[in-house]
Structure 1
Amino acid sequence: MIQITNKADCCGCTACASVCAHHAISMEPDAMGFLYPKVDTDKCTECGLCEKVCAFNPNYDRSLNLPEPQIYAARHKDMHEIETSRSGAAFIAISDYVLEQGGVVYGAGYTEHFRVVHKRATSKEERNEFKGSKYVQSDLKDIFPQVKADLKQGLTVLFSGTPCQTAGLASYIGKRLREKLILVDIVCHGVPAPYIWRDYLVYLEKKYKQPIVEVNFRDKSRIGWNGHIESFIFQDGSKKEFNTYTYLFYRHIMLRPSCSKCHYTNFNRPSDFTLADYWGWEKLSPDFNKDNKGCSLLFVNTEKGLEIFEKRKEELNYLATTQELCIQPNLQHPSKFDTQWIDFEKRYEKQGFIAVAKRYGNLGWRYKYNKLKNKTKRILKK
């Protein structure tokens, strides 16, 4: 049976729970809201399938991969799609192909109070909820079996997620049903804690004494694509911008422990396509994204991916690029955690969100003091 003695060894993909025919494994949250498998030993038959299906290791399946990915800078030709997407809307071009074939698309959306979950879409309107970055680990409850059921019915299925999620799904589905499964992963920075996001929303709603009705983790409407501004629309229609959650995210202090040893931070991806922001697009072409609306980095990793790209490339403006011109940290190594990340989790468990946001974030006097100190140092150097 699967036993997690070190949290860094589990990415929470749910493959082990999904493969268990005896329903002996449930996914239970820890103090940060990260889900881990828990085995009911009374139901477990010790068949070993849960251990066999786990793909969070250096030996994840790459048997369908091209010798090297074909890599592109890409932007959708429809400006509305770019403006309403996080980057260049390459995901829209790919997922439109699946929906137009009568297939289904799975991606990260929202349920009650903006809790991030994976959802199933059969129309472009439903799929549009998957646009935009969501800097929280999504809940995959019951999604893997749903994907398998769709494939058994002969449907074409696109699943988008982090590379650990796509690797887990591919292992769970198996090669027999893989033909009609299209996997899309992202160049992942690491997944933040669900409970931190939950408590942050509660904090904002209490502060402004009204519910939040819309969230945007990276709003590019005001300063463009390369900025990182959180925006929230409240019940009275007011829109407010913050960076408290973003500040904690970039400190690498609230990420899932497994992100510190991610096995997928390379060019040998576990999916048919890989998507990311294309940072450094200027090296390829100074005019390609000159309006600063957004530019996708697109890897085509498999023969299946090549076939789909050939059918959809007319929807895109694209330029071929190289690994050297698109390299970024999370294609080289896992995110390096803040040295205080363990202390952060312990303090959060004991004292709650506001306490850690003040001590490690930008809400308290420490942040203001350090900001003033750094500003003084810069002035004195001049």
Structure 2
Amino acid sequence: MNFDMGKLRFFLGNYQFFSLLLFYLYSQAFISSSFTNSLIERPTCSHNESQALLQFKQTLFFDCNASFLCNPNYGIAAFLKTDSWKEDTDCCSWEGVTCDSDTGRVIGLDLSCSWLCGTIPSNSSLFFLQHLKRLNLAFNNFRQSNISAKFGQFPNLTHLNLSNSFSSGQVPSEISHLSKLVSLDLSRFSLPFPSDQEPFNELKLETTTLKRLALNFSRVKELFLDGIDMCSVDHGYLMNLSSSLTSLSLVDCGLNGTISDRIFRFPNLKLLKLGKNPELVVYLPKSNGTSTLEILDLKQTVLVGDLSGSIRGLKSLKSLNLASCDLNGSIPTSLANLSQLVVLELPDNNFSGWIPASFANLTELQHLDLSYNGLEGTIPPFANGLSN
């Protein structure tokens, strides 16, 4: 068979040309499609929600002292977030506002550390934002006003944070209506007050409200109620909280009576803080307690049970605080089994004897406090090996 080399070269040349042409056309079509898609405008904030936000802004005034608890040294800087809220601009671009990418509805509002001062009455335009999923008003000053029952009327809310916003009165039972809630933070710090100022009024939680919270919060994972007056609460209802609970913090709540070791048996619990409740008797878990706990704070409580055996089962602990628990005897050597410990606080107890040599296993330790005990002997040589 004879080949015409000229025709062959012509064919190959045309083949390469058409291949390049097809590739070029395909790439141009792809670029054009991408460019067209980029021109499709995302939905903008609805006029009604924009106006509701602007009205909410106008009902408050701004005081740079209102967010004095926000400390930039801890990554929490206060600034006037609502300064970017302007008429005739898309509220989805405003600081602290998050919109749904498909509908343009306002689904998130984060005004924490925003220098807000004033009150939020039940007729506030804030409650017009019925599509909210996340609401954070922490670290502002709401001037000891009551938490409105209307906060319980956001049907889609999953996260609510009103911590350290200086509210007072009763925690409204309507909060329990937030059946989709995953995280609730109403905590408040205990602060010293200058002699020329009246102390802030307490925020209180009644048994009926706790009962409803435990019944209706079927999805709750985080519950932070530090500093809330719960002295009259039957905390037995805590055992009815969702098994999905990962964090429970009830520091300085005036809790009293006894709390069962069942509190340690939530299968997903990682943080448990019951500290600064000096009249609360805590029954320690058996050695088969939850292994998921990472942070345990029982300072200034009354502990009942075998401390050494309880500790042995909590192998995931990274932080343990048993300060001022009137513990005595030798420091439990089983602490050395907690190889992931970063923080260990055992001050102001009645421990005696030497620091266990087995502490050399705690190589992740960054903070160790054994002060105000009856320890003796020398600082063990292994301390040089605790490089963190």
Does the alignment reach a TM-score above 0.5? Answer: no
Question: Larger helix proportion, structure 1 or 2?
Answer: 1
Question: Whose Rg is larger?
Answer: 2
Which of 1 and 2 has higher RCO (CA within 8 Å, sep 6+)? 1
- TM-score calculated relative to the size of structure 2: 0.24
